[in-house]
Amino acid sequence: MAIKVLSDKCKGCKLCIKACPFEAIDMEGKLAVINEKCTACNQCIPACPFKAIEKTAEAEGPVDLSAYKHVWVYAEQRRGKLMNVALELIGEGHRLSREIGDDTKVCAVVVGNKIEHLAKECYEYGADTVYLIEDDLLENYTTDGYTKVMVDAIKKYKPEIVLLGATHIGRDLAPRVAARLNTGLTADCTRLDVKVSSYIDYANKNTTLDTSSLDPNSDDKGLKQTRPAFGGNLMATIICPKTRPQMSTVRPGVMQKKEKAEGATGELIKVNPAIQKSDIRTEIVDIVKSAKEIVSLTDAEIICSGGRGLGDSSGFEMIKKFADKVGGVVGSSRAAVDAGWIDHSHQVGQTGTTVKPRIYFACGISGAIQHLAGMQTSDIIVAINKDPDAPIFEVADYGIVGDLYKVIPQIIEEWDNAES
């Protein structure tokens, strides 16, 4: 999709320039000309009184899908440190690339400044190739800067699949890149498949998706991107059959890291970014770390979560004591967050964090589908609830029916006894 000015209709009135939020229109004599900053946002089309601007959907013709190859992972780094989700996605990208076959590689794309040292970690977690995009202007994340260099690199190297973490940065970057490339993006995927047969296996076991029309022997290797839809009440699988790359964001904590292969190496491709100060419309004046307690739910091995059943905010003091005792971190349901008892950074679930600890304690949490979406793949789930019919017991490995204000102090006491 692109924006085109019809030269025979343009009168040079400049109203489109005023309407464009991206400074993407220049005047050449009396003719408006679209420049490379255009995001095809369409604002200029209704602004033109002469109907001289239109969208050209078919003008570019069908995309040659065979020109695209390899799986790219945007290896998000902050202050020279890779985010955990980058390593998880390299693991997933590795799996997908091997399923696609035909020498498909998994490639990590690292963007920043003075970050070459991160290539080693990418190789050790499964990357075959690292694309390094470095520049002083890329020191800190900016939507404009990172979008530009990612789009340029994707246009040049033509990956078949691009995966990003559904972090704040990934959620900002991915849609912008996809729009510039005129391709599709599936946000918040919880499952990715290439082989039709493995997708059918998964869908038949875990979802209500109808797979009866699919041929398990099909050689279709398009990406099947599955994500919760309609408030988590059903799973939807989305494909991107006509454009490339196929783009997905994936929540942290959902995919498996590959086991670290100490000393592994791979190919390094240094990309020279064509970026100038004028490409970036924001200026970072200062970076202030949140004063809030940093909760690393995604990495936690044990999580003790409290819900509305705590009754009020002071209940989290007991949950904190419980978590400290068992070496865990504090999580919560959304109801507790909405009540203002605890910060959102503790929330587990569809609109919070997805977690996969070894043990998940759900205390006074009913087990709404949106909560389950974020914790049901935990290795062991222990539920404490006074309602024996609470849905949380359907996913729990161990269920304790009782008042959490009696049960939790007893567990803490037993723990103390066992330690002494």
Residue 279, burial from CB neighbour count under 10 angstroms (0-12, 13-18, 19+)? middle
Q: Which residues, at least 6 apart from 111, have a Cβ–Cβ distance to it below 8 Å?
A: 74, 77, 133, 134, 138, 146, 149, 150
Which one, 95 or 308, has the nearer CB to ligand FAD?
308
Q: Which of 231, 241, 327, 409 binds ligand FAD (CB under 6 A)?
A: 231
Give the separation between CA 348 and CA 333, rounded to whole angstroms: 6
Per-residue b/e over 5-36, b at no fewer than 16 CB within 10 Å? beeeebeeeeebeebbeeebbeeeeeebebee
Dihedral angle sign, alpha carbons of residues 315, 321, 324, 327: negative
For ligand FAD (CB under 6 A), the number of binding residues is 28
Q: Please count the other Cβ atoms lying within 10 Å of the Cβ belonging to residue 382.
A: 18
Give the Cα separation of 277 and 188 in Å (integer).
Answer: 32
Inter-residue contact 187 to 229 (CB < 8 Å): no
Which C-beta is closer to ligand FAD: that of 16 or that of 337?
337
Phi and psi, residue 407, nearest 5° = -70, -50
- Rounded distance between C-alpha atoms, residue 70 and residue 239, angstroms: 17
If binding is defined by CB under 6 A, does position 334 make contact with ligand FAD?
A: yes
Q: Does 211 bind ligand FAD (CB under 6 A)?
A: no
Asked if 240 contacts 246 with a C-beta cutoff of 8 angstroms, the reply is yes
Q: Does 245 bind ligand FAD (CB under 6 A)?
A: no
* By the rule CB under 6 A, 394 interacts with ligand FAD: no
Nearer to ligand FAD, 132 or 348 (CB): 348
| Of 183 and 366, CB closest to ligand FAD | 366
Q: In the complex, what is the shortest distance from the CB of residue 299 to ligand FAD, in angstroms, rounded to a whole number?
A: 19
Q: Does 309 bind ligand FAD (CB under 6 A)?
A: yes
Tell me how far, at minimum, the Cβ of 396 lies from ligand FAD, in Å: 12
Report if residue 386 touches ligand FAD, rule: CB under 6 A: yes
Does 385 count as an annotated binding residue?
yes
Give yes or no for residue 404 binding ligand FAD (CB under 6 A). yes
| Buried residues in 46-74 as b, exposed as e (16+ CB within 10 A) | eebeeebbbeeeeeeeeeeeeebbbbbbb
* Residue 298 contacts ligand FAD per CB under 6 A: no
Binding segment toward ligand FAD, per CB under 6 A, in 63-71, 103-111, 123-131, 366-374: 366-374
CB of 403 to ligand FAD, least distance (A): 4
Does 403 bind ligand FAD (CB under 6 A)? Our answer is: yes
245 preceded by a cis bond (ω within 30 of 0): yes
399 binds ligand FAD (CB under 6 A): no
- Choice between 77 and 347, CB closer to ligand FAD: 347
The residue within the footprint of ligand FAD, chosen from 350, 354, 376, 378 (CB under 6 A), is 350
Q: Which residue numbers belong to the known binding site for FAD?
A: 308, 333-334, 347-351, 364-371, 385
Binding interface with ligand FAD (CB under 6 A)? 231, 307-309, 333-336, 347, 349-352, 364-366, 368, 370-371, 374, 384-387, 390, 403-405
